[in-house]
Protein backbone atom coordinates (compact mmCIF):
# COMPACT_ATOMS: atom_id res chain seq x y z
CA UNK A 1 0.00 0.00 0.00
CA UNK A 2 2.83 2.41 0.85
CA UNK A 3 4.41 1.72 -2.53
CA UNK A 4 1.11 2.50 -4.28
CA UNK A 5 0.67 5.76 -2.37
CA UNK A 6 4.28 6.78 -3.11
CA UNK A 7 3.74 6.04 -6.82
CA UNK A 8 0.56 8.13 -6.92
CA UNK A 9 2.30 11.06 -5.20
CA UNK A 10 5.20 10.82 -7.65
CA UNK A 11 2.81 10.88 -10.63
CA UNK A 12 0.99 13.93 -9.23
CA UNK A 13 4.29 15.78 -8.71
CA UNK A 14 5.38 14.98 -12.28
CA UNK A 15 2.09 16.24 -13.74
CA UNK A 16 2.26 19.45 -11.71
CA UNK A 17 5.89 20.05 -12.66
CA UNK A 18 5.04 20.00 -16.35
CA UNK A 19 2.85 23.06 -15.86
CA UNK A 20 5.49 25.18 -14.09
CA UNK A 21 6.59 27.94 -16.49
CA UNK A 22 10.04 29.54 -16.60
CA UNK A 23 10.85 32.02 -13.86
CA UNK A 24 9.00 35.35 -14.19
CA UNK A 25 6.85 34.18 -17.11
CA UNK A 26 3.68 35.22 -15.33
CA UNK A 27 5.01 38.53 -14.05
CA UNK A 28 1.86 40.50 -13.22
CA UNK A 29 2.93 43.76 -14.85
CA UNK A 30 3.87 42.04 -18.08
CA UNK A 31 0.78 39.85 -18.20
CA UNK A 32 -1.49 42.88 -18.05
CA UNK A 33 0.47 44.90 -20.59
CA UNK A 34 -1.40 45.47 -23.84
CA UNK A 35 0.93 45.34 -26.86
CA UNK A 36 0.27 45.99 -30.55
CA UNK A 37 -0.27 42.99 -32.81
CA UNK A 38 2.85 40.89 -33.35
CA UNK A 39 4.88 41.85 -36.40
CA UNK A 40 7.21 39.38 -38.04
CA UNK A 41 10.75 40.46 -38.63
CA UNK A 42 11.30 41.93 -42.10
CA UNK A 43 13.48 38.96 -43.08
CA UNK A 44 10.60 36.55 -42.42
CA UNK A 45 8.43 37.58 -45.34
CA UNK A 46 7.81 34.98 -48.08
CA UNK A 47 10.20 32.32 -46.77
CA UNK A 48 11.40 28.97 -48.14
CA UNK A 49 11.94 25.87 -45.97
CA UNK A 50 15.33 24.11 -46.25
CA UNK A 51 16.89 21.29 -44.23
CA UNK A 52 13.53 20.28 -42.82
CA UNK A 53 12.91 23.10 -40.35
CA UNK A 54 15.09 26.11 -41.28
CA UNK A 55 13.45 29.05 -43.04
CA UNK A 56 15.31 31.34 -45.46
CA UNK A 57 14.35 34.00 -47.99
CA UNK A 58 13.86 33.11 -51.66
CA UNK A 59 17.12 34.87 -52.50
CA UNK A 60 18.97 32.89 -49.84
CA UNK A 61 17.36 29.63 -51.00
CA UNK A 62 18.62 30.28 -54.55
CA UNK A 63 22.15 30.78 -53.20
CA UNK A 64 21.82 27.67 -51.03
CA UNK A 65 20.73 25.42 -53.92
CA UNK A 66 23.49 26.77 -56.17
CA UNK A 67 26.40 27.04 -53.72
CA UNK A 68 25.34 25.03 -50.69
CA UNK A 69 25.43 26.00 -47.04
CA UNK A 70 28.96 27.38 -47.18
CA UNK A 71 28.09 29.61 -50.11
CA UNK A 72 24.98 30.89 -48.32
CA UNK A 73 26.53 31.82 -44.98
CA UNK A 74 29.42 33.59 -46.73
CA UNK A 75 27.21 35.53 -49.15
CA UNK A 76 26.49 39.25 -48.90
CA UNK A 77 22.79 38.41 -48.84
CA UNK A 78 23.26 36.40 -45.65
CA UNK A 79 25.49 39.00 -44.01
CA UNK A 80 23.00 41.74 -44.82
CA UNK A 81 19.93 40.07 -43.36
CA UNK A 82 21.45 38.13 -40.48
CA UNK A 83 23.40 38.95 -37.38
CA UNK A 84 24.04 35.50 -35.89
CA UNK A 85 25.19 35.28 -32.27
CA UNK A 86 24.17 38.84 -31.53
CA UNK A 87 21.34 37.91 -29.20
CA UNK A 88 22.02 39.18 -25.70
CA UNK A 89 21.93 36.79 -22.76
CA UNK A 90 18.36 37.96 -22.10
CA UNK A 91 16.01 36.86 -24.87
CA UNK A 92 12.38 37.95 -24.47
CA UNK A 93 9.68 35.61 -25.64
CA UNK A 94 5.94 35.37 -26.05
CA UNK A 95 3.60 32.43 -26.53
CA UNK A 96 0.54 32.47 -28.77
CA UNK A 97 -2.68 32.81 -26.77
CA UNK A 98 -3.98 29.63 -28.38
CA UNK A 99 -1.30 27.72 -26.48
CA UNK A 100 -1.45 29.78 -23.28
CA UNK A 101 -5.20 29.31 -22.84
CA UNK A 102 -5.19 25.61 -23.76
CA UNK A 103 -6.60 23.33 -21.05
CA UNK A 104 -6.15 20.01 -22.80
CA UNK A 105 -5.10 18.16 -25.92
CA UNK A 106 -2.10 18.83 -28.15
CA UNK A 107 -2.08 22.60 -27.58
CA UNK A 108 -1.69 22.10 -23.83
CA UNK A 109 1.07 19.57 -24.46
CA UNK A 110 2.91 22.02 -26.73
CA UNK A 111 2.49 24.78 -24.13
CA UNK A 112 4.04 22.51 -21.49
CA UNK A 113 6.90 21.62 -23.83
CA UNK A 114 7.61 25.31 -24.50
CA UNK A 115 7.79 25.91 -20.75
CA UNK A 116 10.02 22.88 -20.21
CA UNK A 117 12.32 23.82 -23.09
CA UNK A 118 12.80 27.40 -21.94
CA UNK A 119 13.26 26.29 -18.34
CA UNK A 120 15.94 23.76 -19.35
CA UNK A 121 17.81 26.34 -21.45
CA UNK A 122 17.51 28.90 -18.66
CA UNK A 123 18.53 26.57 -15.83
CA UNK A 124 21.55 25.07 -17.59
CA UNK A 125 23.05 28.12 -19.35
CA UNK A 126 23.48 31.85 -18.77
CA UNK A 127 20.51 32.63 -21.02
CA UNK A 128 17.28 34.07 -19.63
CA UNK A 129 13.88 34.03 -21.32
CA UNK A 130 11.61 36.62 -19.67
CA UNK A 131 8.16 37.31 -21.02
CA UNK A 132 8.25 39.91 -23.78
CA UNK A 133 7.47 43.56 -23.05
CA UNK A 134 6.08 45.95 -25.66
CA UNK A 135 9.35 47.88 -25.63
CA UNK A 136 11.49 44.86 -26.57
CA UNK A 137 12.89 45.44 -30.09
CA UNK A 138 13.26 41.75 -30.93
CA UNK A 139 12.08 38.54 -29.32
CA UNK A 140 11.03 34.92 -29.84
CA UNK A 141 7.38 34.28 -30.67
CA UNK A 142 5.99 30.74 -30.35
CA UNK A 143 3.01 30.23 -32.66
CA UNK A 144 0.92 27.40 -34.06
CA UNK A 145 2.22 26.58 -37.52
CA UNK A 146 2.05 24.04 -40.34
CA UNK A 147 5.36 22.54 -39.24
CA UNK A 148 8.06 22.89 -36.60
CA UNK A 149 10.39 25.50 -38.05
CA UNK A 150 12.08 28.85 -37.61
CA UNK A 151 14.54 31.21 -39.24
CA UNK A 152 18.23 30.82 -38.43
CA UNK A 153 19.61 33.63 -36.29
CA UNK A 154 18.44 36.87 -34.68
CA UNK A 155 16.29 39.46 -36.49
CA UNK A 156 17.22 43.12 -36.68
CA UNK A 157 13.81 43.90 -35.16
CA UNK A 158 10.47 42.26 -34.53
CA UNK A 159 9.47 38.68 -33.79
CA UNK A 160 11.62 35.69 -34.61
CA UNK A 161 8.69 33.35 -35.10
CA UNK A 162 8.99 29.73 -34.00
CA UNK A 163 6.32 27.56 -35.61
CA UNK A 164 5.15 24.50 -33.69
CA UNK A 165 2.81 21.70 -34.77
CA UNK A 166 1.36 18.78 -32.84
CA UNK A 167 3.03 16.01 -34.85
CA UNK A 168 6.50 17.34 -34.04
CA UNK A 169 6.08 19.32 -30.80
CA UNK A 170 3.42 17.56 -28.69
CA UNK A 171 3.96 14.64 -26.34
CA UNK A 172 6.39 13.76 -23.57
CA UNK A 173 8.96 12.45 -26.04
CA UNK A 174 9.03 15.88 -27.74
CA UNK A 175 9.66 18.03 -24.67
CA UNK A 176 12.73 19.63 -26.24
CA UNK A 177 11.37 20.26 -29.75
CA UNK A 178 10.79 23.94 -28.89
CA UNK A 179 14.38 24.05 -27.58
CA UNK A 180 15.56 22.55 -30.90
CA UNK A 181 13.93 25.44 -32.77
CA UNK A 182 15.21 28.00 -30.25
CA UNK A 183 18.73 26.71 -30.85
CA UNK A 184 18.26 27.26 -34.59
CA UNK A 185 17.23 30.83 -33.76
CA UNK A 186 20.41 31.08 -31.68
CA UNK A 187 22.40 30.16 -34.79
CA UNK A 188 22.85 26.39 -34.36
CA UNK A 189 22.61 24.02 -37.34
CA UNK A 190 21.83 20.28 -37.29
CA UNK A 191 24.48 18.11 -35.64
CA UNK A 192 24.39 15.40 -38.31
CA UNK A 193 25.31 17.97 -40.98
CA UNK A 194 28.67 19.06 -39.53
CA UNK A 195 31.72 18.59 -41.74
CA UNK A 196 33.19 15.63 -39.84
CA UNK A 197 29.97 13.64 -39.53
CA UNK A 198 31.07 10.83 -41.93
CA UNK A 199 33.39 9.61 -39.19
CA UNK A 200 30.34 9.01 -37.03
CA UNK A 201 27.32 8.47 -39.29
CA UNK A 202 26.68 6.75 -42.62
CA UNK A 203 23.76 8.24 -44.50
CA UNK A 204 21.77 5.71 -46.52
CA UNK A 205 21.44 6.60 -50.19
CA UNK A 206 17.74 5.71 -50.05
CA UNK A 207 16.86 8.32 -47.43
CA UNK A 208 13.82 10.36 -48.42
CA UNK A 209 15.11 13.83 -47.53
CA UNK A 210 18.63 14.02 -48.90
CA UNK A 211 18.87 17.82 -48.68
CA UNK A 212 18.44 17.53 -44.90
CA UNK A 213 21.35 15.09 -44.70
CA UNK A 214 23.99 16.97 -46.69
CA UNK A 215 27.16 18.15 -44.95
CA UNK A 216 27.33 21.88 -44.15
CA UNK A 217 30.92 23.02 -44.52
CA UNK A 218 30.16 26.25 -42.70
CA UNK A 219 29.00 24.42 -39.55
CA UNK A 220 30.70 25.89 -36.47
CA UNK A 221 31.61 23.14 -34.00
CA UNK A 222 33.66 25.26 -31.57
CA UNK A 223 35.88 22.18 -31.15
CA UNK A 224 33.03 20.30 -29.51
CA UNK A 225 33.03 16.49 -29.99
CA UNK A 226 30.40 14.93 -32.22
CA UNK A 227 27.19 14.57 -30.22
CA UNK A 228 24.95 11.64 -31.15
CA UNK A 229 22.50 12.55 -28.41
CA UNK A 230 22.13 16.24 -29.21
CA UNK A 231 18.57 17.47 -29.66
CA UNK A 232 19.94 18.90 -32.93
CA UNK A 233 20.65 15.40 -34.33
CA UNK A 234 18.17 13.51 -36.51
CA UNK A 235 16.89 10.08 -35.60
CA UNK A 236 17.51 7.19 -38.04
CA UNK A 237 13.71 6.92 -38.14
CA UNK A 238 13.47 10.34 -39.76
CA UNK A 239 13.55 10.28 -43.57
CA UNK A 240 13.07 6.51 -43.62
CA UNK A 241 12.46 4.66 -46.90
CA UNK A 242 9.73 2.04 -47.24
CA UNK A 243 11.10 -0.99 -49.05
CA UNK A 244 8.53 -2.92 -51.01
CA UNK A 245 11.08 -5.73 -51.29
CA UNK A 246 11.36 -6.35 -47.57
CA UNK A 247 7.98 -4.71 -46.77
CA UNK A 248 9.61 -2.72 -44.01
CA UNK A 249 10.97 0.75 -43.33
CA UNK A 250 14.72 1.17 -43.84
CA UNK A 251 16.55 3.55 -41.51
CA UNK A 252 17.98 6.71 -43.06
CA UNK A 253 21.35 6.35 -41.30
CA UNK A 254 23.59 3.89 -39.52
CA UNK A 255 26.36 4.57 -37.03
CA UNK A 256 30.07 3.86 -36.92
CA UNK A 257 31.93 2.26 -34.02
CA UNK A 258 32.26 5.74 -32.50
CA UNK A 259 28.76 5.30 -31.07
CA UNK A 260 29.20 3.81 -27.59
CA UNK A 261 25.63 4.09 -26.31
CA UNK A 262 22.21 3.06 -27.58
CA UNK A 263 21.29 3.91 -31.17
CA UNK A 264 17.65 4.17 -30.12
CA UNK A 265 18.48 7.38 -28.24
CA UNK A 266 19.99 9.12 -31.27
CA UNK A 267 17.67 11.93 -32.33
CA UNK A 268 16.02 12.16 -28.91
CA UNK A 269 14.03 15.27 -28.00
CA UNK A 270 13.58 14.48 -24.32
CA UNK A 271 16.41 16.49 -22.77
CA UNK A 272 19.32 18.75 -23.60
CA UNK A 273 22.56 16.82 -23.97
CA UNK A 274 25.75 17.98 -22.23
CA UNK A 275 27.01 18.89 -25.70
CA UNK A 276 23.98 21.09 -26.38
CA UNK A 277 24.62 22.96 -23.16
CA UNK A 278 28.35 23.36 -23.83
CA UNK A 279 27.70 24.63 -27.37
CA UNK A 280 25.46 27.41 -26.03
CA UNK A 281 27.99 28.27 -23.34
CA UNK A 282 30.81 28.53 -25.85
CA UNK A 283 28.84 31.07 -27.88
CA UNK A 284 26.85 33.00 -25.27
CA UNK A 285 28.45 32.28 -21.91
CA UNK A 286 32.22 32.19 -22.52
CA UNK A 287 32.96 33.62 -19.07
CA UNK A 288 31.34 30.59 -17.39
CA UNK A 289 32.46 27.93 -19.87
- 181 is known as an active-site residue: yes
E-strand stretches of the chain: 47-50, 54-57, 93-95, 138-144, 149-151, 158-164, 201-203, 241-243, 248-250, 253-255
The tally of CA atoms less than 13 A away on the side-chain side of residue 58 is: 2
d(CA 160, CA 141): 6
Classify residue 153 by burial, with Cβ atoms within 10 Å: 0-12, 13-18, 19+.
Answer: buried
93 is in an annotated binding site: no
| Nearest alpha-carbon partner for 122 in 52, 178, 206 | 178
User: Which residues have C-beta within 8 Å of that of residue 271, sequence separation ≥ 6?
Assistant: 120, 175, 176, 231
Question: Angle CA(157)–CA(89)–CA(283) in degrees, nearest 5?
Answer: 100
What are the phi and psi torsion angles at 139 (to 5°)? -170, 170
Given 44, 94, 181, 191, the catalytic residue: 181
190 is in an annotated binding site: yes
233 is in an annotated binding site: no
Q: Which of the residues are catalytic? A: 181
> What residues form the annotated binding site?
180, 184, 190
> What residues form the annotated binding site for Zn(2+)?
180, 184, 190
Amino acid sequence: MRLIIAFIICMIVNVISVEIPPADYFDEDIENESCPEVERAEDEEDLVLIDGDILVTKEQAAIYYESGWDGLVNSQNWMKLNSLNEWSKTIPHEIDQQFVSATGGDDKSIKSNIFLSLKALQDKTCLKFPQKRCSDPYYLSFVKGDSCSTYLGKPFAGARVINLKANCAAGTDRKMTPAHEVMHALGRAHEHQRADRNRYVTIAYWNTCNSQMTIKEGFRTFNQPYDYYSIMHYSPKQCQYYSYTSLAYQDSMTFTSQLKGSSSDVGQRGSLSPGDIQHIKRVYCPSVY
